[in-house]
């Protein structure tokens, strides 16, 4: 698996509340690929997010579906997520002015 494959897989994971993928939302802080092993450092929009397991499990399933044999998902809250992390495509999907 390549880093490009892994990023592409993570981009298929949709935040159910916002309807935007976790990469475009800026939830993925880091990604390391070592052969068929993938480590992801990510966050959620809020520490008490009720969809924690849904999103983290979705990321793991997407990576395993793309060929990763070992997946480590670490959810962190430092630095805290903010809307400034949303990419241009996500802003357009949210209907942000000027996006």
CATH of the domain at 18: 3.30.300.130
Tell me if 48 is assigned to some domain: yes
Domain range enclosing 35: 3-80
User: Among 30-39, 58-67, 68-77, 83-92, where is mean pLDDT lowest?
Assistant: 83-92
* Across 60-79, average pLDDT: 97
Supply the DSSP symbol for 85.
G
Tell me if 45 is assigned to some domain: yes
Tell me if 86 is assigned to some domain: no
Whether 96 shows a pLDDT value over 80: the answer reads no
**According to the model, what pLDDT value does residue 98 have?**
65
Tell me if 91 is assigned to some domain: no
CB 90 within 8 A of CB 15: no
CB 55 within 8 A of CB 15: yes
Whether 95 shows a pLDDT value over 70: the answer reads yes
Tell me if 95 is assigned to some domain: no
Per-residue pLDDT reduced to its tens digit, 6-52: 999 999 999 998 899 999 999 999 999 999 999 999 999 999 888 89
Q: How far is CA 30 from CA 6, 86, 93, in A?
A: 11, 15, 23
């Amino acid at each position: 698996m390549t880093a490009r494959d892994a990023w592409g897989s993570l981009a298929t994971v949709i935040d159910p509340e916002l309807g935007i993928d976790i990469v475009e939302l800026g939830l993925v802080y880091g990604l390391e690929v070592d052969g068929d092993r993938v480590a992801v450092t990510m966050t959620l929009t809020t520490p008490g997010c009720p969809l924690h397991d849904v999103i983290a499990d979705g990321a793991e399933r997407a990576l395993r579906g793309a060929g990763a044999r070992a997946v480590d998902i670490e959810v962190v809250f430092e630095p805290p997520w903010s809307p400034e992390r949303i990419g241009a495509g996500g802003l357009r999907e949210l209907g942000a002015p000027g996006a």
